[in-house]
Amino acid sequence: MTTFRKRRTVLKAIAAAGIGAALASHLPLAAAQSLADLKKKGELTVGMLVDFPPYGTLNGSNQPDGYDADVARLLAEDLGMKLKLVPVTGPNRIPFLLTNKVDLLVASLAITPERAKQVKFSRPYAAASIVLYGRKDAKIKEAAELKGMRVGVARASTQDIALTAAAPQGTEIRRFDDDASAMQALMSGQVDAIGCSTTVAAQIAKRAPANTYEEKFLLRQQFMGVALRPDQDEMVKTVNDFVARNKANGKLGKLYRKWLDTDLPALPET
């Protein structure tokens, strides 16, 4: 081999090693795959929404609170671990989980076939109805009448998926960063209606003059599960056991009534 070729080969090797090192430095740390790993870490890090009251919100001390927060507290207590709640958004909650920024999600994440390709879900621990909600004077009784309407929705949410599937061609779907932004768009007249949970609709009804808005029709009944990484089989079983036990003993029902002032809906076993 000539000197030139030897030098080029060495340079390629050095470059490859450098690129490999750079890539390795940006890879996430190895996932905590077992309960023993998590307990050794000493703290359960849970991602949750804080813009989806009453499931996820901020309290007077600007700390995460709500039904999801209480479920996460109950889970950490059940596991005998400290709890760290990490605020996430609708679009970034799954990326936070898959890049190991959190150990699991109790983040009002609806169980869908699309999401199940990315994460593993526990059995449902909560449910919510997704509706089209708009001004009373907006003549909308079914999805076909959305043509020509401006409809808001939180980007990458279950309501986004449901609305996109139901809306006919010609519907102007405006996507916002979160439910709070979609809600503000409705109340300021930027959109004619929004896709949202009944709990968000109730928040709007409290803020607006009486008889301004109404539920138009049901978009989807959704069930929410704790989300875990695909390699967390043992933790999925642990969380499933937790949900089943605390559903049976009434603790989940008590928390649901505390935050939503209604009974915990019937939840499927899987």
Q: What are phi and psi of 82, to 5 degrees?
A: -75, 160
Res 158: pLDDT: 87
Supply 34's token pair.
């077992």
Q: Residue range 2-26: average pLDDT?
A: 37
Sheet containing strand 172-176, strands side by side = 172-176, 150-154, 193-197, 126-135, 213-224
Res 33: pLDDT: 62
Res 269: pLDDT: 82
Res 98: pLDDT: 97
Q: Residue 182 in contact with residue 152, Cβ under 8 Å?
A: yes
Q: Residue range 134-140: average pLDDT?
A: 94
Helices 233-248, 67-79: crossing angle, 10 deg rounding: 110
Average the pLDDT over each of 18-27, 42-51, 162-171 and give the range with the smallest value.
Answer: 18-27
Res 159: pLDDT: 93
CATH 3.40.190.10 in the chain, residue ranges: 35-125+225-260, 128-222
Superfamily of domain 128-222 in CATH is Periplasmic binding protein-like II (3.40.190.10)
Tens digit of pLDDT for each residue in 170-218? 999 999 998 999 999 999 999 999 999 998 999 899 999 999 999 999 9
Res 259: pLDDT: 95
Q: Residue range 148-152: average pLDDT?
A: 97
pLDDT at 23 over 90: no
> What is the distance, to the nearest Å, from the Cα of residue 257 to the centroid of all Cα atoms in its chain?
21
Percentage of the chain lying above the pLDDT 90 cut:
75
Tens digit of pLDDT for each residue in 27-41? 344 444 688 988 899
Q: Looking at per-residue confidence, does 16 or 100 come out higher? A: 100
pLDDT at 126 over 60: yes
pLDDT at 111 over 70: yes
How far is Cα 94 from Cα 125, in angstroms, rounded to an integer? 18
Q: Looking at per-residue confidence, does 219 or 262 come out higher? A: 219
How far is Cα 202 from Cα 205, in angstroms, rounded to an integer? 5
Res 156: pLDDT: 85
Tens digit of pLDDT for each residue in 66-107? 999 999 999 999 999 999 999 999 889 999 999 999 999 999
pLDDT at 127 over 50: yes
Burial 111-142 (b: 16+ CB within 10 A, else e): beeebeeebbbbbbbbbbbbbbbbbeebebee
Res 19: pLDDT: 34
Strand partners, 135: 213
Stated as kind and residue range, the H or E segment containing 83 is strand 82-88
Res 254: pLDDT: 98
Res 53: pLDDT: 87
Sheet containing strand 104-105, strands side by side = 82-88, 43-49, 104-105, 227-228, 120-121
Tens digit of pLDDT for each residue in 219-259? 999 999 999 999 999 999 999 999 999 999 999 999 999 99
Omega prior to 54 cis, within 30 of 0: yes
Which of 3.40.190.10, 3.90.1150.10, 3.40.50.720, 3.10.28.10 would CATH assign to domain 35-125+225-260? Answer: 3.40.190.10
Q: Looking up tokens 């979609």, which residue turns up? A: 182
Res 5: pLDDT: 43
Strand partners, 120: 228
DSSP letter (8 states) at residue 86: E
